[in-house]
Amino acid sequence: MKMKTLSVLFAGFCALPLSAQETNSLAQFQQRLDAMQANFERTLAAQRAEIDALKQELAAQRAAPPRPLLAETPPVASGASVLSAPAAPLRIGKGASYMDIGLVGTFAAGGSTANDFESLQLGGHDPNQRGFTMQGVELNLQGAVDSYFRGNANILFSVDGGGESFMELEEAWLETVTLPGNFTLRAGQFLSDFGRINTQHPHSWGFVDAPLVSARLLGPDGLRNPGARLAWLAPTPFFTELSFGIQNSHGETAASFRSEGHSHGGGAKEGVPFGFRHPDNDRGVRGFGDLLFTPRLATSFDLTDTQTLLLGVSAAFGPNSSGGSGDNRTQIYGVDAYWKWKPANAHGGFPFVSLQTEAMLRRYQLGAFDWDENADGRVDAGEVVDPGTGLPAVLARETVTDYGFYSQLLYGFRKDWVAGLRFDYVGGNTADYERLGLTLDGAALGRDPVRDERWRISPNLTWYPSEFSKVRLQYNHDDRARIGRDHSVWLQFEFLLGAHAAHKF
């Protein structure tokens, strides 16, 4: 005690005559000492953590199943060799990680004799301007959530024709791993289980752009929305899967249903029927009837050892937002077939021949609609006019039918080379509203361009420098009724980084 007082006194005595500068250097010394001590403690903590980690690893290796004994023939150890064990975090790409991360970037360059790219290229991520198009950069994350669920997310980054960047949440869902009774339940935002092309991401398509029929009837970005889907594997000797999806029916990714936007006549987007839609119909879910239902049945057979056939029938039922009453409905039906041949000694997946066809039919109930929306009894700008009366048109409820199909043949004629040929056709019946000779701002409307007949033929050639990149050249010969023929050429580039998720058949 006495010593301490003395030393304090001594320190005080010593400090007294010191100049301010010397006090500073003492403080600096103190600071350095503190820093050194902190550093030492950090190092110690890091070493302790390392020791703990090593201990854990040792415990894990002890817990791992013992290696079978090979007394007589021990494997010869070579330079780079390692014992593969489940506990060792060997891999970054797949399996050992908590999440597989993959990134696919797709760009295109080209041009067309057509100028109306909006109605020429129907898919949301199709090349859609002369010069370069950034079709999308897709980030895919997937993995086991826990022992009950697996998770998947697809986030798409893109740059539109105007140079504006945007982001879309294509998919984000979880799915049960082992539900009893051969069921799988999926919930979240997902691509509706309708046909083949709708559930495939653009990078696994055989062509640069979306088929006309799916882009027109299901929507430019396909049919996808938040919801749930139950799929059942039937106990048949061959593959039979029955699925049933329930999703919201509103939003821009449900184009044939209650997609948003109060679009009128000329403002109607491609993919949506000539829109007579009252803003009151753009609403959320009020009841069960406001949801979208998608049943599907798929079945598959191996025709021979080298040939497989997959057949499916799909449907989508839900309300649409046309008219003013809010009780108009859309039905879409689809059939799809996929056949593939690959010889028993194929190398790297080549050669092969595949044929994929989908046909769809949509019945769209157009609600009754009075174009005199401001109810002033006169023709105002932007109102559709009935030439019979010279007044804003009053349209009765009617159901319009649209249909179409595409058929695509892919021939992997040598390793890493695929030649493709696709035929597209879309059309529809001539509706009453198209027969009336309606005019808008003095111009005749005639046949609805988003429902008019059109066909397209697209040969292409794809080269895969490796599994992780591709270069594709495609020519589109378009023939649109009342518009004419157009020629387009697109060159597409794609790269893949990280995990390459296994593809479904």
Partner 1 sequence: MRTLLLGFAGILLAFSAQAKLNVVCTTPDLAAIAREVGGDRVDITTLTRPTEDPHFVDAKPSFIVKLNRADVLIHGGADLEVGWLPKLVEQARNAKIVSAAKGNVRCCEGVQMLEVPTTLDRSEGDIHAAGNPHYLVDPANAKIVAHHLAAAFAASDAAAGETFQANAAKFSAQLDAKLTEWTAQFAPFKGAKIVSYHKSWSYFAQRFGLEMNLFLEPKPGSPPSAAHLAGVIAKMKEQGVRVIIVDPYLDRKTAETVARATGAAVVDVAQFPGGVKGTEGGYIALMDHLVNSLTKALTK
In three-state form (DSSP H/G/I as H, E/B as E, the rest C), the secondary structure along 271-308 is CCCCCEECHHHCCCCCCHHHEEEEEEEEEEEECCCCEE
- Beta bridge mates, 394: 370
Does 252 participate in binding partner 1 (rule CB under 8 A)?
Answer: no
Return the SS3 of 167: strand
Measured from the CB of residue 340, what is the shortest distance to partner 1 in angstroms?
Answer: 7
Q: Which of 467, 477, 482, 485 binds partner 1 (CB under 8 A)?
A: 467
Asked if 89 interacts with partner 1 (CB under 8 A), we say no
Q: Is residue 94 part of the contact set for partner 1 (CB under 8 A)?
A: yes
Q: Are 229 and 186 in contact (CB under 8 A)?
A: yes
Considering beta carbons, is residue 138 or 221 the nearer one to partner 1?
138
Distance from C-alpha of 268 to C-alpha of 328, rounded to nearest angstrom: 18
415 binds partner 1 (CB under 8 A): yes
With CA atoms as reference, report the closest residue to 409 among 425, 421, 427.
421
Instruction: Determine the size of the site formed for partner 1 (CB under 8 A).
Output: 66
**Best CA proximity match to 364, nearest among 396, 328, 334:** 328
Distance CA 175, CA 177 (A): 6
Q: Residue 138 or 386: which CB sits closer to partner 1? A: 138
SS3 state at 351: coil
Of 63 and 77, which has the nearer Cβ to partner 1? 77
Q: Is 287 in the site for partner 1 (CB under 8 A)?
A: no
Question: Is residue 304 a contact point for partner 1 (CB under 8 A)?
Answer: no
CB of 100 to partner 1, least distance (A): 9
- Which one of residues 416, 453, 479, 486 is an interface residue with partner 1 (CB under 8 A)? 416
Tell me the β-bridge partners of 343.
Answer: none
Q: Is 347 one of the binding residues for partner 1 (CB under 8 A)?
A: yes
Q: In the bound complex, what is the minimum distance in angstroms from residue 94's beta carbon to partner 1?
A: 6
Q: Does 466 bind partner 1 (CB under 8 A)?
A: yes
Please choose, out of 159-167, 266-274, 371-379, 495-503, the segment that lies near partner 1 by the rule CB under 8 A. Answer: 495-503
Question: What distance in Å separates the CA atoms of residue 288 and residue 290, rounded to the nearest whole number?
Answer: 5
Q: 49 to 78, contacts with partner 1 by CB under 8 A?
A: 65, 67-68, 70, 72-78
- Which member of 5, 19, 21, 81 binds partner 1 (CB under 8 A)? 81
Using CB under 8 A, which of the segments 172-180, 203-211, 280-288, 452-460 binds partner 1? 172-180
Q: Is 162 in the site for partner 1 (CB under 8 A)?
A: no
Least distance from C-beta 45 to partner 1, angstroms? 29
List 46, 53, 59, 144, residue binding partner 1 (CB under 8 A) = 144
| Segment interacting with partner 1, rule: CB under 8 A, options 27-35, 180-188, 285-293, 374-382 | 180-188
Where on the phi/psi map is residue 241: left (φ > 0), alpha (ψ -120 to 50), or beta?
beta
Task: Kindly state whether residue 116 participates in binding partner 1, applying the rule CB under 8 A.
Answer: no
Strands 443-444 and 328-341: unpaired
Spell 188-225 as b/e; 16+ CB within 10 A means b.
bbbbbbbbbbbbebbbebbbbbbbbbbbbbbbbbbbbb
* Count of residues making up the chain: 505
**CB atoms near residue 369 (< 10 Å):** 22
- How far apart CA 410 and CA 421 sit, in angstroms, is 7
From the list 26-34, 132-140, 219-227, 236-244, the region that binds partner 1 by CB under 8 A is 236-244
The minimum distance between CB 495 and partner 1, in angstroms, equals 10
CA dihedral 343, 348, 354, 357 (to 10 degrees): 150
Query: Closer CB to partner 1, residue 73 or residue 115?
Result: 73
Regarding 1 and contact with partner 1 (CB under 8 A), the answer is no
At residue 116, what is the residue type?
A: D
Residues that bind partner 1 (CB under 8 A): 65, 67-68, 70, 72-78, 80-86, 90-95, 144, 147, 150, 175, 177-179, 182-184, 233, 236-239, 241, 298, 300-302, 305, 308, 310, 340, 342, 344-349, 415-416, 466-468, 500-505
